[in-house]
Amino acid sequence: MKKKYSHLIRPIFLLIDLCIINAVILYISDKEYLNLQFLAYINISWIVVAYIDGFYKVYRFTNIFRLVTLLVIQFVLFFFIYFAYFGIFKEGQIVNNQLLIFVSVLIGVILFKFLSFYALIKYRLAGKNYRNVVIIGIDDTSKGVAKLFNERADLGYRYYGFFSDKLSKDKKYIGPIIKSYNYILREGIDEIYCTLSVLDKDHVKNFTKFANKNSKVVKLIPESNELYSKKFELEFYNNTLVLNVKKLPFEYPENVFIKRVFDVIFSLLVSVFVMSWLTPLLWILVKLESKGPLFFKQEREGLDGNKFTCYKFRSMKINKYSDKIHATKNDERVTRLGAFMRKSSIDELPQFFNVMKGDMSIVGPRPHMKTLSIEYQKEIDNYLERHAVKPGITGLAQISGYRGEVIKKADIKNRVRMDVFYIENWSFFLDLKIIIQTVLNVFKGEEKAY
């Protein structure tokens, strides 16, 4: 059995950060700081703040945006506590090098945080620090988890396969669930993923007991439609447990305000520095290739289902089906210039005018044509939840590969699922992540951008 040292990573990282803090203070070599009172205060403060904000709770699935968020929160809180020391213990005294120490600690910890983050990724890519995993029961959601294990070697998971009481020809099928217990022990499996849509309560209870007894980890894979539900807070009325439905992010006025301010500023920058010179250039090129206006206007559904006029650079020849049928691969209606604009998403740029008008946001669910929207409402549960926020130029569904032509029902179903997840889990940093990924996808190219 291989030895596990992952549990030592967080204590080691905490110790290194404390070493950085104390090394900076030692390097400054100022008598005001080289005393037990200040050193105890600053070290304990760092540990307390890190415990409160979960600074060292960095997991295999933690991404760079979450890392930045943790750093911002940690240093904002630490900033106030750090400078509070001088107000409490050094009131009325001039103390030098306050800012120098803070900035040096900031730079040192940030550098180490990113270096250690990427070092662990490289380590896992080299086949180290891995976890052996199996899935108990299989459905579409757990298949997606299995696919992630296989495709993301940087996460450090070795997927052995799945157990199911239903026979399967899948090469990753190991056998019936009853045989999983011996297999898990024999093969040194670390984590057991239980599919809740397949297993009953007794199965989950048995695997939990088995895992506790044998030092294994059990994780539960919920049904995909559970992503639609709001999150709950636990409240206790004396000894009675009550679930309190939490507000969604956009039910807080301050979040709506922050998003709107960002939308306006970002759209103004794009309009001034990009649209101002690109619009007349495209007017000439579009006119040279085909007859018709530069801008294509189409009625779409926005916030609360209200209609608005969506603007795009025209990428097709004038045709009677533009308001009824999505563009398809090798669509004859698309012009040569239009194909380039659609591939690079340049045709979407006029929608920044929609953002300025308040009809759209930069990030949100993509607005659909009226005819398609009516069709989707009949077929897809929770479709109307997309109307709870303004539609966006880009969105979580788009950067996740669900864009363009809807070929099968699963395409729109997954798109709606991602849109609802975005609405329920919005944050400013999530918007930034989506915008950055959208820009990267433009340069990388997208298969469904036609």
Question: Which CATH number fits the domain that encloses residue 136?
Answer: 3.40.50.20
Taking residues 428-442, what's their average pLDDT? 89
Please list the residues that pair with 316 across neighbouring strands: 334
User: Are 365 and 305 spatial neighbours (Cβ–Cβ below 8 Å)?
Assistant: no
Structure confidence at residue 149 (pLDDT) = 87
Q: What is the torsion angle, in degrees rounded to the nearest 10, for the CA atoms of residue 297, residue 302, residue 305 and residue 308?
A: -30
Mean pLDDT over each residue of the chain, to the nearest integer: 84
Regarding whether 81 and 105 lie in a shared domain, the answer is: yes
In the predicted structure, residue 245 carries a pLDDT above the cut 90: no
118 and 163 inside one domain: no
Domain membership flag for residue 11:
yes
- Assess if residue 395 is contained within a domain: yes
pLDDT at 356: 94
Give the number of other Cβ atoms within 10 Å of residue 52's Cβ. Answer: 11
Among 125, 149, 164, the domain boundary falls at: 125
Q: Which two tokens stand for residue 159?
A: 């997927």
- Number of folded domains that form the chain: 3
The helix (run of H) or strand (run of E) holding residue 413 is: helix 409-424
User: Do 322 and 357 sit in the same domain of this protein?
Assistant: yes
Residue 341 has pLDDT above 60, yes or no: yes
- The reply to whether 302 and 333 lie within a common domain is yes
pLDDT digit string, tens, across residues 20-30: 999 998 888 66
> Can you tell me the mean pLDDT for 315-340?
80
Domain shared by 31 and 120, yes or no: yes
Residue 305 pLDDT class (50, 70, 90 cuts):
confident
Whether 227 is covered by a domain: the verdict is no
Residues 117, 159, single domain; the answer is: no
Whether residues 207 and 281 fall in one domain: no
Residues 289 and 362 in one domain: yes
244 belongs to a structural domain: no
Residue where one domain finishes, among candidates 76, 106, 125: 125
Confidence of residue 225 (pLDDT cuts 50, 70, 90): low
Q: Name the residue range of residue 196's domain.
A: 131-222
**Do 324 and 411 belong together in one domain?**
yes
In this structure, what token pair is assigned to residue 436?
């950055």
Same domain, 112 and 185: no
Domain final residue pick, 125, 150, 177: 125
Top pLDDT among 98 and 447 is at 98
Distance, CA of 75 to CA of 103 (rounded, Å): 10
Q: What is the pLDDT of residues 164-208, one digit of tens each?
A: 998 888 899 999 999 999 999 999 999 999 988 888 888 888 998
Is residue 246 situated within a structural domain? no
Q: Are residues 43 and 179 in the same domain?
A: no
